[in-house]
Amino acid sequence: MLTYPLHTNPPYMQQWNISIQRQLGSNWLISASYLGNNLIHGWSYQQINPGLLVPGATTGNINSRRAFILANPSQGSYYSTVGLLDDGATAGYQGGLFSVQRRFSGGFTILANYTWSHCITDPIPNDSSSIGSYVNPASRRMDRGNCVGIDRRHLVNASFVYQTPRFSDAKVRLLTSNWQLSTILSVQSGPYGTVISGVDNALNGIANQRPNQMSVNPYATNQSVNGWLNASSFTTVPNGTFGNLGVGNILLPGAVQLDMSLSRTFSIKERHRLQIRFEAFNVPNHLNPAAPNLTLNSPIFGKITSDITVAAGANAAATGGGDPRILQFAAKYTF
């Protein structure tokens, strides 16, 4: 399927997909899908009044070196940063989705899927305040790379429900029948981030400039929250130049979440029911670290100082305070 909204304002989104399904036996269904989309005419922002590189340029005299004032000193002095909005940005996503499902039969059901994908984009700010989103105003493609924060190459989600059978023996049935065990597992590879130098080496007054990457493997030998990246793998660049490090090429930590519940409903008498439930969140008490500090001139560069909470069964992790293992018990009586 291909969709292309021809009569809407930019940006325009092209989408296409193809799916194959196959039933195995009476209970199993497997499927494979290819998902793709392409965004064109995305809004992007370019700084058209940057500081230009002239003899004697420093970070302290950027305003006196801006393009407008050098072109027309009498009028250019009235302008500071000037952003140009254009619709030339593009982005694309390609993904494969593989799933397996077993309908509820014989006391259990399974639903699992795996997504393998890649997302690439030009700089497309979320709002108009991000003026100067190109580090190099003359080259939008210099800032093209992996979709920062959302390009997760591997995603696995699985759920499993098992219900114990109704045993014939009365005593055994009383203790063990009709218990329901539910499990939800989410495994996500890490997103991608960008190392920035923290200084204006290009001397153009535009933020988020990047350093040079000096080694093929920029990660710490023994990765931990106290050292995810190797600081010696990066170096600042000479004044008036741009670093060779691309956008979104630093793999950040992944995440794992396993939640389980055990429940049973007891029939007390006609229309009276008692339900008890035991729930466990983050069963293995696994730490899901957030992104490390990615500012090279920071004293905590490469260190991880927070964690994340994974939304079980979702395709993304929401930033926040990471939850430890949580156990809870609930009972409900209906009549």
pLDDT confidence of residue 218: 94
Residue 73 has pLDDT above 90, yes or no: yes
In a domain, 24, yes or no: yes
List the one residue out of 51, 46, 53 whose CA is nearest residue 84. Answer: 46
pLDDT confidence of residue 134: 85
Q: What sections of the chain are H helices per DSSP?
A: 67-71, 73-76, 170-176
User: Among the listed ranges 14-23, 125-134, 262-271, which one has the minimum average pLDDT value?
Assistant: 125-134
pLDDT confidence of residue 119: 95
| Residue 313: pLDDT band with limits 50, 70, 90 | very low
Q: How crowded is residue 67: how many other Cβ atoms within 10 Å of its Cβ?
A: 18
Encoded tokens for 125: 């700010």
Residue 153 has pLDDT above 80, yes or no: yes
Average pLDDT over residues 97-126: 92
List the one residue out of 116, 287, 109 whose CA is nearest residue 184. Answer: 109
Residue 316 has pLDDT above 80, yes or no: no
pLDDT confidence of residue 142: 92
Average pLDDT over residues 14-41: 95
In a domain, 64, yes or no: no
Q: Where are the beta strands (DSSP E) in the chain?
A: 2-3, 12-24, 28-47, 83-105, 108-121, 145-146, 154-163, 180-188, 192-193, 212-213, 219-224, 227-229, 234-235, 250-251, 255-269, 272-281, 308-310, 317-319, 326-334
List residues bridging with 15 in a β-sheet.
3, 37
pLDDT confidence of residue 99: 97
Per-residue pLDDT of 154-208, as tens digits, reads 999 999 999 888 777 777 677 777 889 999 999 999 999 999 999 999 999 998 9
List the one residue out of 221, 231, 148, 225 whose CA is nearest residue 190. Answer: 148
Query: Is the peptide bond preceding residue 11 cis, with omega within 30 degrees of 0?
Result: yes
In a domain, 78, yes or no: no
pLDDT confidence of residue 209: 94
pLDDT confidence of residue 133: 73
| Residue 71: pLDDT band with limits 50, 70, 90 | very high
In a domain, 130, yes or no: no
Residue 312 has pLDDT above 50, yes or no: no
In a domain, 158, yes or no: yes
Per-residue pLDDT of 211-248, as tens digits, reads 999 988 999 999 999 999 999 999 999 999 999 999 99
By percentage, how much of the chain surpasses pLDDT 90? 63
Angstrom distance (rounded) from CA 207 to CA 259: 41
In a domain, 77, yes or no: no
In a domain, 58, yes or no: no
Residue 132 has pLDDT above 60, yes or no: no
In a domain, 12, yes or no: yes
pLDDT confidence of residue 310: 45
> Domain limits at 300?
2-42+91-124+139-334
Average pLDDT over residues 300-323: 59
pLDDT confidence of residue 126: 60
Q: Count how many domains the chain has.
A: 1
